[in-house]
A and B are shown apart, each in its own frame.
Chain A
Amino acid sequence: MNGITFDGIFFAMVGAAIAGLACCGSAMGIGIAGQAASGVVSEDPKKFGQALLLQALPGTQGIYGLLIAFVIMNKIGLLGGSGALDLTMVQGLYILASAVPVGLVGIVSGSAQGKAAAAAIMLISKRPEEVAKGMVYTAMVETYAVLALLISFLMLNSIQL
């Protein structure tokens, strides 16, 4: 232990990184939906717009992850001009813990939502007029990403620095 100290800032940064992992979920989800979309568009190029809308839906997990990462960085003063705050290790660990819901749930719900979106894209290949229903089914999955975001945000918000 030659003077290496894990200070609060370090743990807070790990927290921001975990929140950022939600992007993995979105990447997987959008990838899955994109494969289905290309298949459908190969049959009927006119469905590009509808398929794109559905493909975009699993993108929100990444946004939520970015949101929490941003709020963390903002909170510990990395983004302001005044430099990082002095955090205790416990405070850093609190912040780390608050980032776990959005990061972890983001990965799972992003890919699950991608599968639902892919199925919805299959749905519009046969019944393009039912796109709204496909969207709603897909959005059902997102509920849990939304809840995780709220948990993370409220936890973070209640940490006193």
Chain B
Amino acid sequence: MAIAKMEKLAVIGLSSEQGTFIEELMRLGVVQINAQESKLCDEKWNGLIQKDDAGKWVSKWEAELDRIENALILLDRFIDRKAPLIRERARISEREFDSTLEYEYEIRRQMLRLTKLSRRYSHMLLRENKAITARQALLPWQSYDIPAQDYKTQSTQVWQGVIPGMNDSADFLKILTDKTGYADAEVVHSDNEQHYISVVFYEPAAEEVQCVLRDLGFNRIALPINSGSVKEAIEELEAQLDALRDERKSIVEQVRSFESFEPTLKMYYDEIAMRKDRAVIREKFLVTDSTFYLEGWYPKIARKKVEALLLDRNCYYEITQPGKEEETPVLLLNKGIVQPFEAITKLYSLPASRGIDATPFFSFFYALFFGMMLSDAAYGIIITAGTFLIRRKYHLEGMLKQLVDMFFFCGISTTFWGLMFGSFFGDIITQVSTNFFGHAVHFPTLWFSPINDPMKLLFFSLGLGLIHVFLAMGISAYMAIRDGQPMDALFDTGFWYILILSLIGYLGGGMVEGAPAALPVVCKWLALGSALGIVATGGRQKKGIIGKIVGGLGSLYGITGYLSDVLSYSRILALGLATGVISSVFNTLGTLAGSGLMGALVMLLAFCIGHPYNIAINALGSFVHSCRLQYVEFFGRFYQGGGEGFRPFCENTKYVTILKEEL
């Protein structure tokens, strides 16, 4: 249970077997291969070996991956389909995968055709944009009928240009003719921003004319045409644009015809990605001319399979147990209904390799707290059914799968507490029956209603909190005993158990009827004794007598920590009340329009807006606050995080899951 035991592996094999060995190791997928930098620096080793280098292959496969990815992006862009709600990997048998990839040459040719189409498509787009810009520039000149070949004759020149729109074009014409006798101008078109003007002038006087034009703010424009009139040029551009658009459409059609090819291409992507990974991993191998060497970790439970593979490939190997102080990669192994709650542990931090995986301990409490915070039977049923349907419909993997499974169990717990507290969409049954049918029908309350008796739930929550905190202290004591420090367990946990329990007995014992009269007295002395014990032992690691006393008193002051930790569980009551009261707010709003058709419509509206909102906001709150109770109050007492995750060398595919046929 909990954290998988790791063993260290060192392997020497023959270079001739290396390719197959890597392939099979990847297929097995249980060995994490370590980098060997230290050996390379070690004098004993560095004369003999060198780092394996497959850089050439890595870059080759990376380039190929880029090409495939571009092709896939192209397909994704032009094939019309709805994006799936949840992205899942296709599941394919190993045989099917291999037989598809037998036609690798053909796949690659198709892929390159797609690449070519992609390139042509962007080329078309570029040309289209260019044509559009040109047309845009010409449009104001639409009615300008001097053909381009006449812009320059033997003794005249025609210039086109603009002046700012705020200038008066009539003024421009007047000043121009006033200042020089060699030019004549005509306003072709005006819009808000500019006046488009054509100027014809006598060439030998060009300098004088240009001077005047400059003074007038005239800006020359070179029209992008060589011959013919502007109108003809625009028509030509439009024809060109039509042709380009048609071509683009035909490219899109061609791309769409590849739709059935997409799954194959995805498999090809994964195959190449695996080849790349196999090339990359070789950088962690050390080689001589005819042998290779590697080191790695694997979980002990996989030992048989690893050894079989090594023997098969004629490798020499050594298995060693990790040293006491050695950090190993961390793999969580939990079974059954506890397993999905690993997600909560992972969201915090993986346990240190010599720490403890808390998942089995808090799973029950997580679901319990979540259920008590949301505490509505209908909401619970919705969550349970929703997650169940998602699991039926999709093949989820990894973290997402764990979270969905976890919410399934939380949903069950929510339903349970909803029944206990008599809440089904809040008090909708009571409200509807009173409002529409005139007599109140109540949803059965199996235990009690927190709105009517909040103190009861408050004490119940604090009690659960106490158990939860005690469990965390127990784990910390267990860890101390495991590490050979049983006295620490007694001093840091045992005394506290006695102190807290006896304080409760002392303060609360009198309130319970039928409790023996001696109970408070006994508890008082027990509490005093354990408090003394805490003061005496709390500072044992400090130096000097004053240090020890101060440390001990400080440690006793830690009782405020226990108090605030336990009080923190009052949030269970608060969040439970929030769900219940907010749903009755919406239900009450629904009844405001009275009975009858209008009333029913208002009720329906309030229901359809209110309850989805309530479920969303309170499920989020329950999730976050259940997490907090684990992370702060529970983990805080014992948990050592910061473990490095176990990352085996395996088939790390993006689009397909290759199902192994067990032999």
Binding site for B on A (CB under 8 A): 53, 56-57, 59-60, 63-64, 66-67, 70-71, 79, 131-133, 135-136, 138-140, 142-143, 146-147, 149-150, 153-154, 157
With A139-B624, A139-B625, A153-B577 as contacts: A56 and B582 at CB distance below 8 Å: no
With A53-B620, A157-B454 as contacts: A132 and B571 at CB distance below 8 Å: no
B621 interfacial contact with A, CB 8 Å: yes
- Residue pairs across A and B with Cβ atoms less than 8 A apart, 19 shown, are A64-B574, A66-B582, A67-B577, A67-B582, A70-B584, A71-B581, A132-B347, A136-B624, A136-B627, A136-B632, A142-B625, A146-B570, A146-B571, A147-B570, A147-B574, A149-B574, A150-B573, A153-B574, A157-B455
Cβ contacts under 8 Å, A147 to chain B: 567, 570, 574
Do the beta carbons of A135 and B627 come within 8 Å of each other? yes
The smallest beta-carbon distance between B448 and chain A, in angstroms, is 14
Do the beta carbons of A56 and B578 come within 8 Å of each other? no
Known: A138-B624, A140-B632. 8 other contacts (CB 8 A): A60-B578, A67-B585, A70-B584, A71-B581, A132-B348, A135-B627, A147-B574, A149-B578
> CA separation between A34 and B617, bound complex, in Å?
16
With A64-B578, A132-B348, A140-B628 as contacts: A154 and B621 at CB distance below 8 Å: no
Cβ contacts under 8 Å, B567 to chain A: 147
> CA separation between A67 and B582, bound complex, in Å?
6
Listed residue (A64, A66, A132, A133) with the most chain B CB atoms within 10 angstroms of its CB? A132
B436 interfacial contact with A, CB 8 Å: no
With A59-B617, A136-B632 as contacts: A146 and B624 at CB distance below 8 Å: no
> CA separation between A102 and B559, bound complex, in Å?
28
> CA separation between A153 and B582, bound complex, in Å?
14
The smallest beta-carbon distance between B599 and chain A, in angstroms, is 13
The smallest beta-carbon distance between B372 and chain A, in angstroms, is 14
> CA separation between A139 and B427, bound complex, in Å?
28
Do the beta carbons of B627 and A56 come within 8 Å of each other? no
> CA separation between A71 and B632, bound complex, in Å?
31
Do the beta carbons of B628 and A139 come within 8 Å of each other? yes
> CA separation between A110 and B179, bound complex, in Å?
74
Do the beta carbons of A60 and B582 come within 8 Å of each other? no
Cβ contacts under 8 Å, B632 to chain A: 136, 140
Q: Which of A56, A146, A153 contacts B620 (CB 8 A)?
A: A56
Cβ contacts under 8 Å, A143 to chain B: 568, 571
B478 interfacial contact with A, CB 8 Å: no
The smallest beta-carbon distance between A132 and chain B, in angstroms, is 4
CB-defined interface of B571-607 with A at 8 Å, one 1/0 digit per residue?
1011101100110110010000000000000000000
Do the beta carbons of A154 and B617 come within 8 Å of each other? no
Cβ contacts under 8 Å, B628 to chain A: 136, 139-140
With A132-B347, A154-B455 as contacts: A146 and B574 at CB distance below 8 Å: yes
Do the beta carbons of B581 and A70 come within 8 Å of each other? yes
With A60-B617, A71-B581, A79-B588 as contacts: A146 and B575 at CB distance below 8 Å: yes
> CA separation between A43 and B581, bound complex, in Å?
39
B61 interfacial contact with A, CB 8 Å: no
Cβ contacts under 8 Å, B562 to chain A: none
> CA separation between A150 and B617, bound complex, in Å?
19
CB-defined interface of B622-652 with A at 8 Å, one 1/0 digit per residue?
0011011001100000000000000000000
The smallest beta-carbon distance between B580 and chain A, in angstroms, is 9
Do the beta carbons of A70 and B585 come within 8 Å of each other? yes
Q: Which of B574, B582, B624, B625 contacts A150 (CB 8 A)?
A: B574
> CA separation between A139 and B620, bound complex, in Å?
11
Cβ contacts under 8 Å, A136 to chain B: 624, 627-628, 631-632
Do the beta carbons of A154 and B454 come within 8 Å of each other? yes
> CA separation between A67 and B585, bound complex, in Å?
8
Closest A residue, CB atoms, query B630: A136
> CA separation between A157 and B627, bound complex, in Å?
29
Do the beta carbons of B588 and A153 come within 8 Å of each other? no
> CA separation between A147 and B568, bound complex, in Å?
8
Cβ contacts under 8 Å, A138 to chain B: 624
Closest 10 CB pairs of A and B: A132-B347, A146-B574, A67-B581, A146-B571, A139-B624, A139-B628, A149-B574, A135-B624, A70-B585, A150-B574
> CA separation between A25 and B632, bound complex, in Å?
25
CB-defined interface of B446-466 with A at 8 Å, one 1/0 digit per residue?
000000001100100000000
The smallest beta-carbon distance between A146 and chain B, in angstroms, is 4
Cβ contacts under 8 Å, A66 to chain B: 582, 585
The smallest beta-carbon distance between A140 and chain B, in angstroms, is 7
The smallest beta-carbon distance between B38 and chain A, in angstroms, is 29
Cβ contacts under 8 Å, B455 to chain A: 154, 157
Closest A residue, CB atoms, query B349: A133
Cβ contacts under 8 Å, A150 to chain B: 458, 570, 573-574
Do the beta carbons of A63 and B582 come within 8 Å of each other? yes
> CA separation between A67 and B621, bound complex, in Å?
15
> CA separation between A110 and B620, bound complex, in Å?
17
Closest B residue, CB atoms, query A147: B570
> CA separation between A53 and B403, bound complex, in Å?
16
> CA separation between A60 and B574, bound complex, in Å?
11
Closest A residue, CB atoms, query B435: A81
Cβ contacts under 8 Å, B570 to chain A: 146-147, 150
The smallest beta-carbon distance between A53 and chain B, in angstroms, is 6
The smallest beta-carbon distance between B615 and chain A, in angstroms, is 13
> CA separation between A143 and B428, bound complex, in Å?
29
Closest A residue, CB atoms, query B344: A132
Do the beta carbons of B617 and A63 come within 8 Å of each other? yes
Cβ contacts under 8 Å, A132 to chain B: 347-348, 627
Q: Which of A57, A70, A157 contacts B624 (CB 8 A)?
A: A57
> CA separation between A142 and B568, bound complex, in Å?
11
The smallest beta-carbon distance between B39 and chain A, in angstroms, is 32
Cβ contacts under 8 Å, A79 to chain B: 588
> CA separation between A12 and B584, bound complex, in Å?
20
The smallest beta-carbon distance between B155 and chain A, in angstroms, is 60
With A56-B617, A56-B620 as contacts: A63 and B578 at CB distance below 8 Å: yes
Closest A residue, CB atoms, query B592: A79
